[in-house]
Each structure stands twice: as structure tokens, then as C-alpha cells.
Structure 1
């Protein structure tokens, strides 16, 4: 169907196709030959290229055509209307970037509203042109303008059927909407109700007061006490009272609020571990690129020469690529002797020098290092290119601790003499059967038997399959020759442009991770290429987002958060999380610079959290220094960083108590369940004695 030479025409195929045609081919051909039905030629000479003049059809054929295809005149009018409405890309850009204040937070419009307002703007553009065209023509011919608006309203209703816009149906309201749009443009389409959906009305001043109460340690306020105290003072300060404790608790849990009080409640180190950006690292691709060395409890009971139940320690050296345990030494202390013998055995077992060794900060390692001012090489310098300690107070970064845990669960726990895991373990399966052990002390290993059993357990571990490859660990190690290998990844792709993930994901301190085609992909929000956006992270770490992605182009994803009305609002574009090589041998110059950049950024974040929090504390008189106490020093940072915090938070120097978290946690990790039970019994006896 189309206009040709100013006449409405239908095609030959439209009239003759199908099991029940409007008119049979033979009948149509004869009618055209006799001139009863007119046609126009489009070239080619065949019927499929002929256009039939609709007005020349007999009435019965018109009725059949309308029944089958609809009224061609009305359809053509609608088609012409469609051609006049073009999507206003500038309007979409305006609504995509528009922000409004919702409960003190700058908020973007939901996708639903962006689509609705863009559609309305596009239709209004067409209506304004239609209005101006009709007005100009009527003035030109001296005709009345009285029916112009009625015609525009009729056009609006026809466009509503096509596009489903939400412009007013009432003529006077539509007229008012068009006139306002001509003056104010896109902003006139945004409803005044936007931003009024939030039920918790907490101003900036009120929020600082709530954070101060949450941070207060003298006295300590629970959430219910904060709720009561806030509502007590709210009338005097013209604040809107809170309706429920739950709404307050939810406000405290918001990603942009939680970092402002978390350290006061749980400690700054806990806050750093929760909010400090974590590196995602790629393990070595070949043997002997990286070795880990660390000491731990040997989780099997044995009996000493006097028949007493004892435990001991073991120092292990592990190849990071294959998880093969290369060298060990059993002794009661993690000292120089244990470390020296373990590394020596590892070198003998390997037959190669490792490129890098990573160890903890225990005192024994200092004897293995080069003495300051000495011209002789230290032990580590002789067996590796580089060695370094792990970051303090960062146990999650030590791969060997994860291996220890799995080794204990998979091999050592098979024996009834198993001491159980760390005393902080919660599962019953991680605890020992002390009654059985106590009843069979005479059957415990001797120290020699313990070592023989441990050798067999290590052998079983090394010969077991690696969880990532399914190849025995020792086979992986022996077949590797420390050469670069290419990683080939196959993706299952689908033919859909942008789709939602099946479930929302949480942006954590390690970015946001989604699963596509059974493969986990991690993404990061960047301030600019290669620079993670730490300001955004401060407000959004541990916020849950719905994720939209293009399966044909995974170079970026879009993050949306969902409001109480279940409407999704665009937040940011995220790009692939930067993966850096864990081993220094594998690192490029750019990766090393990135590590330093992020270390400095994490320190700045810690400083900023402290400064913001201390400002609130001082403003409301709840700072420890204002109540006869001292704020704990920030752990794991340089003296200059602490001085910067002190300078910006007006803290006066004083001699701190000698207390180190690292020593306390190490002591706890070395305790066993029998010792814990014994200590509790002794404490009970002490209390009973006092009574």
C-alpha cells in the first residue's frame, strides 16, 4: 500500500495472496485488461510489481480488503504520523543525566520515567510542528483558527494509539502542556511528585547527629536508644520524627552512611578490611615463580615422653602455581631453625631456585634476610631473585593459609587424633572429639610417629588432583617448565543486545561479579581509564545492583539500583576489573605502578574516613579525647600517615598502650580446643574461689 501519482494504491500480491484472496488472480487480470480496474506499472512487467488503484475496485472488493488488512486510508494516515514522530535523542540525554534530591542523595530518574519522558518529548515535538503548520496555512488563506487545537488534540490521540504517550487527554490541559513545553522545554515534563517517595526524611544536619550518636563510646548507644534520643530532640530542631527503628537501622546500613560509623563500632582495622579496595590477582602460570612460606599448628595430637597430650607446629614452603608442598620442618616454635630447614628441603626437592618468596613478618625471617649495612648476601637473596613479607593485618591475601585450611580438612582430619581447626571455627565437624582423645592417650602418636604420619599426609595432598585443573598437583609441578602460556577462553554468546542478569549482584571491595555462560566476570567503576573511582566506592561498596550487559560486547556493563517501587535507576557504567599478576616476575611496569597507586588511594580513603568521622565526633562532643579516652592509632600505616590524620583531626599526641592486634590473633590461631576448655575451667575455678 502506497501513494502513486497522488492516488492510493494497493499491491497485486495483497489482493491475490492467501487461501482466501480479496480477488482471484484470473478475475483481477481480466478486469484490468477490460479497464474496469486501473493499475500503475512499477517496471518489470510482472503482476508482483503492479500497483492497483484502490478507488477503482468494486465496493465488495473494498469490503474484503478492509476486513483482511484494515482501512488503507486510515493506515496510511497513521503511517504518515509515525514518520513525523522522531525520537528526540537530546531529550533522552537530558533525562539520563537529570538528578534530583531524594532524602539528601542526588538521584537519577528510573529507566521507566526516562523512556516515558523521552516519548512525550518526541510526540510534543511533532504536535508543535503540526500546530505551527496548521496555524500558518490558515492565516495564509484567511481561514478561522477556531478548530486548530481540536485538530491537534485529535492528532495527539491518534499518536497515543501508536506510541502510548502519557500527555493529557483533556484539550485545555493538553494546550497548557504544549505552551509550557515551548517555554521550558524538557524540564516541564518532569512530574513534581518525583523525589517524594522516600519515607525517611533525614536532613544533612540530622544525619550528622545520628552518626555522632552511633559513634559515641561514652556512653554507647544502641539503635533503639539512638531512635529514642533522636525523636526526643527532633521537635526542638524542626526535624521530622522517625516512625520506626527499622527505618533508622536501614539508614545506618546504607553504603554511603555505614563507613562513617563502622570503625567506631568495630575498629578501624575492621573498617579498612571491609572498605579498603582489594586487588584481584592472577596466580602464577608456571612452577617456581612464587613460593609461600608460613608456620601453622600441626593439627594432630601426640604424646610426649611423659605421656602427656601435646601439639606442635610445622613450617611449610609451598609452590603457588601447583599447591605442591615442597619443604617443611616440625618444631614447637616458628623460629629461624624451622624456616631455614623448611626452605632448604624445598630447594632440594625442587632442584630450582624460585624467582620470588613471600613470607610473613615473624622474627625468624629477619635472620634469613640480609643484615642492614652487611655486604654479604642473606639466605633469601641466595635462593631467589626477590623476597617480601605479606601485608600486615591482611591474612586474606596469603594463599598458603587457604591451602593449610584445605589440607587440614582433606587429609589431617581423617585421623581421630585431629585437634580440630582454629578455635574460631563454628562448624562441629571442625572440632575434635576430646572425650575420645582423652580416653585413648596411650594410643596417641609419638613425635616420631607423628612426623611419619605427616609425611604420608603431605604425599597424599601432593598426589591429589588440583581443584582448578583436575591434574595431580605433583604432576602439574613436574611437567611445568616455567614458560609463558596463553589462556584461551570460550564464551557462549546469545543474540540479544542488552539483557538483565538473572539476579542482582553486590558491589564489594573486590568489585562486582556476574556470571555469564557459566563464567564469572568481574567489573569495576572507573574515574578515568586505569583509575578506580574511590569517591564512588566510598558511597556504594556493598550496595546491590541489577546488571545490564551486552553478551556480544562484554567490555562494559550498566549498573542499576532498585527503589522501593521496584523501579530500576541507572547508576554507572562499569568496565572489566583490572587483573594483575600476583608474582612480581609476571608483573609489567604498568601493573607495579597500579599497585602503588591503589595502595596510596586506600590510604587516602582511610584518612578521609577518619577525618570525616572525627569532625562529627568533635562537633557533638563524643570524641574519645573529649571524654578522657584516646582514639586507637591506625594500624598498618606509616608514621607520616598517622601524623596526617592527627593533624587533620586535631588529635594530641600521647604514649599509647603497647598492644598489637597481630600478636593477639596469632596467639588465638595457635590455641587448640583442649586448651580453650582448660582455660574456661580454670577461670570458673578462680571465680568460685573468690566467692
Structure 2
């Protein structure tokens, strides 16, 4: 209701609003069209509301209006009074930020109290403004000190109560006292003494410390009832108020500010860390191979060993974080370096790319992998997860869903972690015991697990609905290079801890207690004698492939300690000692190696003799004789002598038969081209014949 162009009008909302409207909208419109009710202003938009002339309302609608809202003059006065009420924004800010001690815990006011105190403070301010106006007017008129000023202010307070709903005293004396305290203490005087009054606190600071100490006590460990009884037994002697109930004490101990003070002593510091300390909110990668997780877990399927005993084992898995694809695994009872090596190698072979980052825990196998440099070679960066923090491992979540969705379908399922509360997460041990003979063998278990992994990879990813393996294969990561053969050697070939010496019997390495011997070949199946001549008894660093012992790689160290690749060595050729068991190929190999050995002896002697003659230290140059080769044919010795210039030509043949055979093999072309051909004189031939006779 308001005056519009000096005409008293009512609004559309006042006439039609509420559960019991004065008049319905349809009836109002019909009366306006018929001219029974005058429209002073049409509504238009949010800021312009429709107004209707109050005096034009039919009597029955006037009566309903006054029954609902009161007489028009009273309504206008109330509106005028309400318009003069201005909420104190500073009071609102004060009560919003106000905190008080509630049983040892800093607490803010409730929303209801904030609203109530803001209204009361605003009204008190208005009442004091009214009092100051009355006092100034009285002094200006020379009326002296009027005795009815407080009565006028009290009347104003009651009128404002109807408008604002304030809760100031309804008694003049108490209102006067409230106003005086507001004038002295300001906003704080409005707050009830029951709020923030230290005299009402049941648990003081010292008492609270004692309660926390009793809760933390490990010797002895006390129940909540025992803590309650112990505290109340001490309270009177220490001047504390006794606690009224165990429930109240538990509510205080479990409050947000108090619980962290004792939680670690009761449940462990790691549990307290996981419960109270802030956690990061992270977003998983969107590209394949951006992040791999590696972790070991229990393989949740029972199997029977060779003795028929029911057993479980473990598995080390490597997964791609973006697609949840299982890339590589190794089934092993222990999460050791070998299991991790096999899993990462399989993951690299399946992926064909190096991952950008690998996240793993800090178990012993990873420490060895770090020290060997394997992880540094596989990825751009690798790091460990926070210890004892399962929430930081995405792979833990993947394992859990893999168990629930895939492995759980197998009746041999061991159940999830023992902390799982669902009955479906636990195995049916009675059924397993009854079918013990039908459990997987270890080989069958490995085949079943491989099938389960394939099923998981082909299942739809929960975020995209697309097959995990299809997501992985369709994704491209430009920052993850393809893996080459040389990369595989660099990443996964293992370096022997000790250097090995290449001897006449080859080079020997020992892997897991098994000795393996290798040698360098010039061609398949043919030892490289020339290389042997230069490198026998040289020490080498050996690298081998744990997946394939068909070859090893030999490296030598330069002065700077850098490795230099020398040759690839293959398994040492083994032949049968007994002639009866030798094959035709072995016999030929023996003959060829004997010839090669003879030639090697020749070349070694020739090289040495040439140096002796060149430097003048040969025994023959000093009146001595070089020993003949032992165990060698005579023509081997003659070849050495000829090539080392001990004789200038081939020795003369004194055997008549051999001489004639030599002559018979010479033709006239040879005599023309070779000036060294010499025929024995007749006297020599006769001498030979005589000696034969």
C-alpha cells in the first residue's frame, strides 16, 4: 500500500498474493475491465508494479483487505516505520567474524544469532538516535529536562518490534539498562552472557589438556568410561567442574580441533597423517605413455603346488595411467629386481615406446633397479610414491577394480584385501577346500592370469566407454620415442659385475650359478683365429641378455673408463671327444681347426722372428740355434724357417723318388718363368742311387 499521485493505492501482490488472497487475479482483471476497480498504474517490468485505487474496491474486498492486513492508516504507519529502519552493516560484520570459546574450541555464532544480534544492535542505535533528537528538541524549546523521554523511546521500541522482530527487553527499566550498556560497550553488549562467557565453560584449558593426556595414555590404555571416571575423580582436587556425561566428553574429544591431538596415539601417526593432512587433487594424463605405474600385489587366485598344497603368489604389474592398460607383468613370489626387470621389459616390448615418466614405490627391487641405472634408461624421469600412502597410487585403484570385475568371476578367487568389509570380497573357503584337487597348477595359473589381463585390456574404460587397448593404440605421445634394438640392449642387457678374461678356452661368465663359455666367430660356426691372436688374455666387460643367452657383447675400457664395444661372442663350440660319437661335421671341424692352429703358430713365430732378425737379436745371428716347434709337422717348421730367411731357398731334395716326382710335375713353361728351377747334376743323382743301395 502506498500513495500514488496523492491517491491511496494497493499493489497487485497485496490483493492477489498469499494462500488466502483478497481477490483472485482473474476476478481482479474482470473488475478492472468492467470499471468496478480503478487501475492507477499498470505494471511493467521488475521496477514498476501495478497499483489499484483503494477507495474503488468494492466493500467486500475492502473488508477482506482490512481483515488480512489491518486498517489502511495502520498499514501505512507500519510501512513508514519500516522504511526508517536501516540495518547496521558494521554490526553484521562484527557478528560474522566474532568467535568465542565453547568448551575449549573456538566457535562462531550461529546464523540465527548473527541475524538476531544484528537487528538488536541496529534498533538500539536507532533508539539512541531518537533519544538524542528528543533531547535536542526539548533543549531548543527551553522545556528543560522532560520526564517522558524514556517512555517515548520505549513506545518507539515496541513499534519497531512489530516491524523488525527484535528481541530487546519488553520492560522499560531493562530496556534502559540495555541501551546504557550498548552506549558503553557497543556491539559486544548485545551478545548474551551465555555465549562466550568463560564462567559457563565446562572444560578449561588445563582440564582439556588432562583429558587429551588420558586419551593418549598407552600405559594403561583407558576406555572412554575410564577416562570419564578418572577425570571426575581428579576434578574436585584441581578445581575443575566435573563432566556431566560420557557422551558430552566424547563429543568434545571428537571435535575437529581436539581429535588431531590424540588420534595418532590411538590409531597410529600414519593414520592421523592420512586423515588430517591435506591431499592433492590431481588429474590423470590424457596421452599414452605419459605416466606408467609399476607395483607388486597379490595375485588373487589360489593354485596347488607339486605337493598338492594350496598356495598364492604375487605379480608385478606395469600399467599405463591414461588408459589403464596392463602392459607388462611378471608372476613371482617376491617383488624383487628380477620380477621388475621382466615386467618393464615386457611393457617396453608391448608398447614399442619409452614412457616419459614411471612412478613406483621404494621397495628393495626398485633400489637395485635405480642403482643399476635400468629405470634411468627406460624413461625420462622416475620417482617414488609417498610411502604408506595408498591414496597416492592410481595403480591400487586399478588393481581393486580388476579384482572386483575380472578375477572375482573365478571360483579360485582369494578375495580382496583382508580389510574389505563386503562379504562378496571374501573367498568361499569351504568350496575351495572341497575342490582342492581342481585348483590351477602354477602353469595353469599363469595362463589364466594372462587371459584375465587380456579381458581387462579389452573392457571399456569407465571415462570414455572405449576399449582400453583401443584407447592405447589410438593415442599418440610425441614425446615418447620408439624403441630400437640398440635401445633394448642399452636398457635390458645386464652388465656382469666383474670383468672376464678371454683365454684360449674362450670367455666364461657365471649367471645364477651357471657357468657359460663363449668365443668370437668370424662366420657362423667358425672361430675367429685372427681376432684370437690379438685379444687372447685380454679382459673385457661382458653384457648379456637374461632372456636370451645365444650371444653376449664384449666391451673394453679406455683410459677414461668409458666402455668401447669390441665384438659379439657366441656359445663356445663343443665337440665329442670319442671318435665313435663324432659326426661328420665335427670331424671336419676338428681338421680345419688343427690346420688353423698350425697356421696360427706359424704366423705367431714368423712375426716374432722377423722382429728378431730386424733387430739383430735372433739366436742364429749370435751363433745359437732356435728350438724346433714341438708337436708340429716338419713342413710347418720349414715354412717358418723359409719365411724368416733362415734359408734363402727351399732345401734340396735328396730323395730320388721325391726328386723325380718333382721333376715330372714341371713343364717347360715353368722353366721359362721360374729361374729357381734347378736340375740335379748326374753326379748327385748317382750319389743318391748309391746311398739307396
TM range (shorter): 0.5 to 0.7
Residue 341 of structure 1 and its aligned partner are, at CA, apart by 1.5
Distance 1:320 1:422 in 2: 22
Matches within 5 A, 1:155-304: 155-195=156-196, 201-304=202-305
Distance 1:3 1:399 in 2: 70
Match 1:436 to one of 425, 428, 431 = 431
8 Å CA contact 2:304, 2:442 repeated in 1: yes
Residue 336 of structure 1 and its aligned partner are, at CA, apart by 2.0
Residues 149 and 387 (structure 1 numbering): CA distance in 2 closer, same or farther, change over 3 Å? Answer: same
Distance 2:359 2:32 in 1: 84
Q: Residue 96 of structure 1 corresponds to which residue in structure 2?
A: 96
Q: Residue 151 of structure 2 corresponds to which residue in structure 1?
A: 150
Matches within 5 A, 1:464-483: 464-482=459-477
Distance 1:49 1:253 in 2: 57
8 Å CA contact 1:11, 1:49 repeated in 2: no
8 Å CA contact 1:299, 1:421 repeated in 2: yes
- Listed as ranges, the gaps of 5+ residues in structure 1 are 30-38, 40-47, 372-377, 485-691
Distance 2:153 2:115 in 1: 23
Distance 1:439 1:104 in 2: 60
Residues 103 and 300 (structure 1 numbering): CA distance in 2 closer, same or farther, change over 3 Å? Answer: closer
Q: Residue 648 of structure 1 corresponds to which residue in structure 2?
A: none
TM-superposition CA deviations, 1:264-289 (whole Å, max 9, x none): 22333332233232222211122111
Q: Residue 381 of structure 2 corresponds to which residue in structure 1?
A: 386
Distance 1:129 1:187 in 2: 19
TM-superposition CA deviations, 1:178-218 (whole Å, max 9, x none): 33323332222222222469987122112222222222333
Q: Residue 554 of structure 1 corresponds to which residue in structure 2?
A: none
Distance 1:195 1:250 in 2: 19
Distance 2:50 2:315 in 1: 89
8 Å CA contact 2:319, 2:325 repeated in 1: yes
Residue 19 of structure 1 and its aligned partner are, at CA, apart by 7.0
Matches within 5 A, 1:78-117: 78-117=78-117
Residue 69 of structure 1 and its aligned partner are, at CA, apart by 7.7
Residues 293 and 258 (structure 1 numbering): CA distance in 2 closer, same or farther, change over 3 Å? Answer: same
Distance 1:400 1:385 in 2: 20
Distance 1:416 1:22 in 2: 81
Residue 91 of structure 1 and its aligned partner are, at CA, apart by 1.0
Give SS of 2:101's match: strand
Distance 2:37 2:434 in 1: 107
Give SS of 1:261's match: helix
Q: Residue 8 of structure 2 corresponds to which residue in structure 1?
A: 10
Residue 86 of structure 1 and its aligned partner are, at CA, apart by 0.8
Distance 1:327 1:420 in 2: 23
Residue 347 of structure 1 and its aligned partner are, at CA, apart by 1.2
Residues 203 and 291 (structure 1 numbering): CA distance in 2 closer, same or farther, change over 3 Å? Answer: same
Give SS of 1:421's match: coil
Give SS of 2:330's match: strand
Q: Residue 349 of structure 2 corresponds to which residue in structure 1?
A: 348
Q: Residue 120 of structure 2 corresponds to which residue in structure 1?
A: 120
Residues 354 and 149 (structure 1 numbering): CA distance in 2 closer, same or farther, change over 3 Å? Answer: same
What is the root-mean-square deviation of aligned Cα atoms in Å? 4.0
TM-superposition CA deviations, 1:281-339 (whole Å, max 9, x none): 21112211110111222222233344443332221110111111011122333222221
Residues 474 and 231 (structure 1 numbering): CA distance in 2 closer, same or farther, change over 3 Å? Answer: same
Residues 2 and 263 (structure 1 numbering): CA distance in 2 closer, same or farther, change over 3 Å? Answer: closer
Q: Residue 329 of structure 2 corresponds to which residue in structure 1?
A: 328
Q: Residue 682 of structure 1 corresponds to which residue in structure 2?
A: none
8 Å CA contact 1:291, 1:320 repeated in 2: yes
TM-superposition CA deviations, 1:210-248 (whole Å, max 9, x none): 222222333333332222222222221111122233332
Residue 387 of structure 1 and its aligned partner are, at CA, apart by 0.6
2:379 aligned with 1:421, yes or no? no
8 Å CA contact 2:37, 2:53 repeated in 1: no
Distance 1:53 1:439 in 2: 92
Q: Residue 656 of structure 1 corresponds to which residue in structure 2?
A: none
Residue 72 of structure 1 and its aligned partner are, at CA, apart by 4.0
- Listed as ranges, the gaps of 5+ residues in structure 2 are 16-26, 41-48, 480-693
* Higher RCO (C-alpha under 8 Å, 6+ residues apart): 1
Residue 161 of structure 1 and its aligned partner are, at CA, apart by 1.5
8 Å CA contact 1:200, 1:242 repeated in 2: no
2:397 aligned with 1:402, yes or no? yes
8 Å CA contact 2:302, 2:439 repeated in 1: yes
Give SS of 1:234's match: helix
The structure with the larger Rg is 2
8 Å CA contact 2:2, 2:10 repeated in 1: no
8 Å CA contact 1:102, 1:198 repeated in 2: no
Distance 1:309 1:61 in 2: 91
Distance 2:175 2:471 in 1: 75
Residue 381 of structure 1 and its aligned partner are, at CA, apart by 1.9
Q: How many residues align?
A: 458
Give SS of 1:315's match: strand
Distance 1:63 1:393 in 2: 77
Residue 115 of structure 1 and its aligned partner are, at CA, apart by 0.7
Residue 385 of structure 1 and its aligned partner are, at CA, apart by 0.6
8 Å CA contact 2:194, 2:200 repeated in 1: no
8 Å CA contact 2:38, 2:53 repeated in 1: no
TM-superposition CA deviations, 1:379-423 (whole Å, max 9, x none): 222221101122222223222122222212221222222233334
TM-superposition CA deviations, 1:346-372 (whole Å, max 9, x none): 11211221110111222222332245x
Matches within 5 A, 1:636-655: none
Matches within 5 A, 1:547-566: none
8 Å CA contact 1:116, 1:165 repeated in 2: yes
TM-superposition CA deviations, 1:149-201 (whole Å, max 9, x none): 33332222222111111122223333333333233322222222224699871
Residues 301 and 97 (structure 1 numbering): CA distance in 2 closer, same or farther, change over 3 Å? Answer: closer
Q: Residue 495 of structure 1 corresponds to which residue in structure 2?
A: none
Residues 24 and 223 (structure 1 numbering): CA distance in 2 closer, same or farther, change over 3 Å? Answer: closer
Match 1:456 to one of 451, 455, 459 = 451
Give SS of 2:282's match: strand
TM-superposition CA deviations, 1:604-661 (whole Å, max 9, x none): xxxxxxxxxxxxxxxxxxxxxxxxxxxxxxxxxxxxxxxxxxxxxxxxxxxxxxxxxx
Q: Residue 77 of structure 1 corresponds to which residue in structure 2?
A: 77
Give SS of 1:338's match: helix
Q: Residue 134 of structure 1 corresponds to which residue in structure 2?
A: 134
